[in-house]
Amino acid sequence: MGKILDGKAFANLRAEKLKKQVEKLKAQGIEPYFCVINIGDNSASKVYVRTKKRRAESVGIIQKIYQLPKTESEEDVLALIDKLNADPKVHGIMVQLPAPEHINVNRVLERISPEKDVDGLTPSNIGRLWQENHFVEPATADGIMALLDHYGVDLEGKNAVIIGRSNIVGKPLAALMLEKNATVSILHLATKNLSEYTKMADILVSAAGQANLVTKDMVKDGAIVIDVGINHVNGHLVGDVAFDEVEPKASMITPVPGGVGPLTVEFLMEQVIKLTRRANGIRE
């Protein structure tokens, strides 16, 4: 039976510590301020934005939502980012994805100041991540690393296999795991015979967005399994991992829901505080 890695409990524990950091900042006259730009009427995006706002408020961060119509021009979005970049009261900026098709996402993300880039998706911050010289990290990847550390997992010398190569999870997580001296493989849609790689994994992370992709025959005994997938099946939320059949083989495993999901929102707030401290010359 695998040990359940309780992401929700860990996120709440971190949130209590984060509240104290925010209180210390406020005692110095510093008000953490986070801006989210949401373009269009994607229902899932609106839910995510509201969830972030609730978490921000719970730890004492001011979050302002710029809800723009789906017809908003790219030029106007860029102008808004320029305005927020120039505002010294704003410590963090993010653009909620996906954006409408007429918006060039790469151009929009590039416009965000690296010093206010909460998602860690500007080209310079991506470069810093791979150079091991980063001051902000994509939230999901950072949360997974912290969760593993919390449960005493030492990555040095381990075979880590990641299914999914997104800029949000797969690639940044690979960079952070390499920093800890893991041997990392990234699998993707063009990878042949996934199980040949997954069966060698000491740590298996699935961020593919495909329900029940990882089955028991793909996992070696004693592996640590991290499920990043969020899939809706018959009205239920399920991950990429067939939990009931994989859990008995794993030494540790995250559930869905209650595993990685809560970490993403919590660690987004932690990036806001990192950037707030940096903007005010405050070191850890």
Active centre residues (catalytic): 52, 96, 119
- With DSSP H G I counted as helix, E B as strand and the rest as coil, what are the percentages for the chain, rounded to 5? 45, 15, 40
Residue type, 180: K
Token pair belonging to 19:
């509240």
User: What gap in Å lies between CA 135 and CA 205, rounded to an integer?
Assistant: 24
Cis peptide before 114 (omega within 30 of 0): no
Q: How far is CA 268 from the centre of its chain?
A: 7
The sign of the CA dihedral 7, 50, 44, 84 is negative
If one counts every other C-beta atom within 10 angstroms of the C-beta of residue 41, the result is: 11
Q: Which residues pair with 237 in a beta bridge?
A: 232
Please give the structure tokens belonging to residue 235. 């009205």
Lay out the sheet containing 92-95: strands in order across. Answer: 62-68, 33-39, 92-95
**Rounded Cα gap, residues 140 and 200, in angstroms:** 24
Tokens at residue 17, please? 């510590």
Closest-CA residue to 99 (of 159, 38, 142, 48): 38
For the packed helices 43-59 and 7-27, what is the interaxial angle rounded to 10 degrees?
60
